[in-house]
Chains A and B, each alone.
Chain A
């Protein structure tokens, strides 16, 4: 009897297996988040993108996410968990998931992977990123006009190309307006620690910075600026609600259309490994509404004109001549830095009074 039951279950499960593979249900899309979707910063915007994708594709896809995945060996387990549970497309949304993504992608050749802000690809691994530095050029321009003390405080996370590029783009634009502008950088070596980010902001304000720029994920620096009565730029999403009297504008990351297009490609069976790097022109980087209580109408108009110029290609964040800290010419006059240099940027431009951690 027991033996009969055993055979019966085996047969049933075989039938089930055949049907489940033959039945083309909705495609499953998985996301790996570094923080919680409620951080109102980096992860929040990825989650907004995920929801946009779901609403665009309707019944064709379902999506799941794993939040708060650390950038170490744990990431391998999280990605593998999604890959082994029938997901067709997996987005890993932080730079340091790079090698982990490739490791799991190697084990699951039939699953498609998309790694944000990285540069290593494979047949089933795409990379995608946004040209956040275009937004940094605009906030640099604004900071150059708005800083009264001529000192800007910059809270940086990790010395990776994306962050270095942001500091350089910001400084180049600010120095064009005010050549004497000073930029103080604190490397926090964390993306996510509200207390430490607030401490860093307070330290910079204490040292005379009257504008706080951040490349970390929570709105703690903006809040600290509000409390101290200085100005700040939001990060990744519009943070005006948390610091209405400090928030000048923010660089918003708009991932939704990209996620929808990639998921559609999986549904249609046209997905292939690509390297996407979109900016303002494609709508992946958007500026939050400029704060008209703090900025003059002329300055707002200038910022909007810059946006237009960046979109039509007449303004580039890295226009030559650009020198590095050692005084060597890295981008000659009349040229713009190419994407290869931008993608691997590991040097400060001349004028930044800080040592880049190597």
Chain B
């Protein structure tokens, strides 16, 4: 890999990883407040299609992103109503939110599949993703409000006893998570692969969810996890393009040099790091929000 190729490689990694960072940091905020929202994939799809359709109709990038965020707020607001007010099961509701999002986005986008648009340069968004991760980290560990959100996630009863409105704080966290996921979706349909295709998020929402566990609920580690995953996925393509083979003295060199193994490698790398992280059960227990997935009712 020469100098120019290295630059190109880094650029591709940055472009490919940014959407997962956005979605991951949004989900992290939601989970910090004690709510698990498995609807990331669905919210990203609805965000992607809303941005795309708005762009085709109005021709304005600003409106596209604005409407996309509003769509994210709508989707996560629906989720918030179900889990906070009706106190439905968070896992089941999140899963159905994803299924709902897949269907809704297909329906909205039906007429617009294959409409050509001018893509937007991704670099502002790449920079923005780093800024947002920094801001979320600052919010949680340097501000009082961040401390309150964490308190709600760790022990909602204590937070309630102290006079904080648990439901209101959780609602805001869910809405923030939803708008970030939708924003990630709009980045994909407008910058990353400027088009609308049904199901085009192709599992990135689930990767974002895994990242939150991977990061042990620490914002800066979202970046590390996302770039391990994104870097490995692009690097394996790079190796494939170069026709790379492990030398013969490596055991099972034929297996490790095969394209199926290369395609598996990003997931494998993420899994290995996850195993290492979770080998210390205490660390996971300490960093996971204690009230994650627990419903809150004032009477208790």
Q: Which residues of B contact A188 (CB under 8 A)?
A: 263
A185: min CB distance to chain B, Å: 7
Q: In the complex, how many residues of chain A place their beta carbon closer than 8 angstroms to a beta carbon of chain B?
A: 45
Q: Which residues of B contact A205 (CB under 8 A)?
A: 8
| Residue from the list A36, A153, A187, A202 in contact with B106, Cβ < 8 A | A36
Complex contact A195–B5 (CB within 8 A): no
Complex contact B5–A207 (CB within 8 A): yes
Q: Which residues of A contact B238 (CB under 8 A)?
A: 203, 206-207
Complex contact A68–B240 (CB within 8 A): no
Complex contact B195–A220 (CB within 8 A): yes
| Complex Cα gap A186–B259 (Å) | 8
Q: Which residues of A contact B260 (CB under 8 A)?
A: 187, 189, 357
Complex contact A195–B116 (CB within 8 A): no
Q: How large is the interface on B (under 10, 10 to 19, 20 to 34, 35 or more residues)?
A: 35 or more
B181: min CB distance to chain A, Å: 16
A194 within 8 A of B: yes
Q: Which partner residue on chain A sits nearest B261 by CB separation?
A: A357
Q: Which residues of B contact A298 (CB under 8 A)?
A: none
Question: Which residues 187-222 in A have Cβ within 8 Å of B in the complex?
Answer: 187-190, 192-200, 202-207, 209, 218-220
B242 within 8 A of A: yes
14 contacts between A and B (CB under 8 A): A40-B113, A40-B114, A184-B243, A186-B237, A188-B263, A193-B202, A194-B195, A200-B237, A223-B119, A223-B193, A227-B119, A241-B116, A355-B245, A355-B259
Complex contact B200–A199 (CB within 8 A): no
| Complex Cα gap A67–B199 (Å) | 12
Interface string of B173-194 (1 = CB under 8 A from A): 0000000000000001000111
Given contacts A187-B240, A204-B241, A241-B116, contact A355 B16 (CB under 8 A): no
A80: min CB distance to chain B, Å: 21
Q: Which residues of B contact A74 (CB under 8 A)?
A: none
B183: min CB distance to chain A, Å: 16
Chain A residues with a Cβ under 8 A of chain B: 35-36, 38-40, 44, 67-68, 153, 159, 184-190, 192-200, 202-207, 209, 218-220, 223, 227, 241-242, 353-355, 357-358
Complex contact B200–A194 (CB within 8 A): yes
Complex contact A39–B197 (CB within 8 A): yes
| Residue from the list B119, B199, B233, B262 in contact with A68, Cβ < 8 A | B199
Which of A40, A202, A354 has most chain B Cβ within 10 Å?
Answer: A202
| Complex Cα gap A38–B109 (Å) | 10
Q: Which partner residue on chain A sits nearest B203 by CB separation?
A: A193
Complex contact B116–A206 (CB within 8 A): no
Complex contact A192–B263 (CB within 8 A): no
Given contacts A195-B192, A199-B233, A355-B245, contact A38 B197 (CB under 8 A): yes
Given contacts A153-B241, A186-B237, contact A38 B116 (CB under 8 A): no
B32 within 8 A of A: no
Chain B residues with a Cβ under 8 A of chain A: 5, 8-9, 12, 15-16, 19, 106, 110, 113-114, 116, 119, 188, 192-195, 197-200, 202, 204, 233-234, 237-238, 240-243, 245, 257-260, 262-263
Complex contact A186–B197 (CB within 8 A): no
Complex contact A159–B259 (CB within 8 A): yes
| Complex Cα gap A141–B200 (Å) | 33
Q: Which residues of A contact B259 (CB under 8 A)?
A: 159, 187, 189, 355, 357
Q: Which residues of A contact B19 (CB under 8 A)?
A: 195
| Complex Cα gap A358–B261 (Å) | 11
Complex contact B12–A206 (CB within 8 A): yes
Q: Which residues of A contact B9 (CB under 8 A)?
A: 203, 206
Counting from the closest, the 5 A-B pairs by CB-CB distance are: A38-B113, A206-B8, A187-B259, A194-B193, A357-B259
B209: min CB distance to chain A, Å: 17
Complex contact A189–B198 (CB within 8 A): no
Complex contact B195–A195 (CB within 8 A): no
A352: min CB distance to chain B, Å: 10
Complex contact A195–B241 (CB within 8 A): no
| Complex Cα gap A353–B241 (Å) | 10
Q: Which partner residue on chain A sits nearest B109 by CB separation?
A: A38
A154: min CB distance to chain B, Å: 10
Q: Which partner residue on chain B sits nearest A188 by CB separation?
A: B263
Identify 8 new A-B residue pairs, CB closer than 8 A, beyond the known A195-B200, A218-B197.
Answer: A40-B113, A159-B259, A184-B241, A202-B15, A203-B238, A207-B242, A209-B241, A242-B116
| Complex Cα gap A203–B15 (Å) | 12
B47: min CB distance to chain A, Å: 15
Q: Which residues of A contact B262 (CB under 8 A)?
A: 187
Q: Which residues of B contact A219 (CB under 8 A)?
A: 195
Q: Which residues of A contact B106 (CB under 8 A)?
A: 36
Q: Which residues of B contact A220 (CB under 8 A)?
A: 193, 195
B264: min CB distance to chain A, Å: 9
Given contacts A200-B237, A203-B12, A218-B197, contact A195 B188 (CB under 8 A): yes
Q: Which partner residue on chain A sits nearest B102 by CB separation?
A: A68
Q: Which residues of B contact A198 (CB under 8 A)?
A: 192-193
